[in-house]
Amino acid sequence: MLAAVASGASHISGLLRSEDVIATVRAFRDMGVEIEDAEDGRLTVRGVGPAGLKMPQAQLDLGNSGTALRLLAGLLAGQNVEATLTGDDSLRKRPMRRIEEPLRLMGARVIPSEGGVPPVLIRQSNTLQGIDYAMPVASAQVKSAILLAGMYATGETCIDEPQITRDHTERMLETFGYPCRRDRLRVCLQGGGTLHGTDIDVPGDLSSAAFFLVGAAINPGSRITVKGVGVNPTRDGILTVMRRMGAQIEITNQRVAGNEPVADITVRHAPLTGVEIPPDLVSLAIDEFPVIAIAAACAEGDTIVRGAEELRHKESDRIRAMVTGLKGVGVHAEELDDGMLIRGGEINGGQVPSYGDHRIAMAFCIASLRSAQPIMVHDCGNIATSFPDFLARADSAGLDVRRA
């Protein structure tokens, strides 16, 4: 996204060719951005400058990517274009009011469909105004949408978070030469700046690595090393949670890539114990809770998650989806208003609905490592949303996972 509206070309290596990324690339091509695939796997994006995007001829279909839709709404709010953002059945159920309100306060014309869901119409608007916005709920997607709109606003845009959320957007803005002032729970930027094309090496995704890290932790005799993984401190909550549960985790070869901290992570099997996960850790591990729930099912005692209402607004209601799935394989689990309680015990196997949610599907694949009987996970097509080669990686790591 930033490369598309930068001045000059950007070269991106280490890119995940997932459906979410492919949908984002397609959207910018539809808005006149030249994006080339190189033989060495790099992507070259020839930026059109801050106001160079063209009006798309059709709706921009972002598939299952809530990140792409919410961030693109912020970016397009300050462009002189009109566009409609849509996606698949799951995405068209995701709430958009959280981005509509702050963008409207800035002067943007962001119009969701009835019920506050996509498709979302972005109309041409006059000059945006910077705002000082206190976010009611911690959300990196909402924060990022406001920051992207803030680049096109008059004056300064500042955001106060109730809890720390991932700061990839702030780091990436700085990498493209756009200054961003950060002070723990507050981030500000001045409108009217310029992004400059650059070279980016994308770190490995901790959310994807988490499935195999938990797999090694719960499976007797296992050890796994995942190399080149991003260990950004605003999103490494799963490592903190797993350590509190007793997991043996070693971090080595720490370095920086693309303005992000990167390392190799080794996990060895160890007995796990249930823990209480406090709200201040939730935002640092928000995407990893499906597989954290599997670790909890294999731990001794109860694991309690509170302050995790945001999980109800992902690709599925992940609180309900995980509790339903765990009960389906014989694990004691209870749904709380803002979280869940999971009592460790035997995983018996059985039928699990994934509700079309890639992380739910992959989590129960990992649960099969400790299951007495096979687990059949239904509606898994969206695994390619974030991890297109998951089955191949699972096979190479020794899991017995087959496509039915």
Go through the chain and tell me how many residues it has: 404
User: 394 CB contacts (<8 Å, ≥6 apart)?
Assistant: 365, 401
The widest CA-to-CA distance across the chain, in whole angstroms, is 62
Counting Cα atoms < 13 Å in the Cβ hemisphere of 29 gives 13
User: Is the separation of the CB atoms in 323 and 74 below 8 Å?
Assistant: no
Concerning whether 357 is annotated as a catalytic residue, the answer is no
Radius of gyration of the chain (CA): 21
Do 104 and 116 meet the contact criterion of CB atoms below 8 Å apart? no
Which tokens sit at 57?
């001829």
- Integer Cα distance of 352 and 176 in angstroms: 44
As a whole number of angstroms, the distance between CA 13 and CA 26 comes to 18
Angstrom distance (rounded) from CA 266 to CA 251: 7
Catalytic, out of 61, 236, 287, 357: 287
How many angstroms from the chain centroid is the CA of residue 303?
A: 23
Measured in degrees and rounded to the nearest 5, phi and psi for residue 181 equal -95, 125
Catalytic residue numbers read: 287
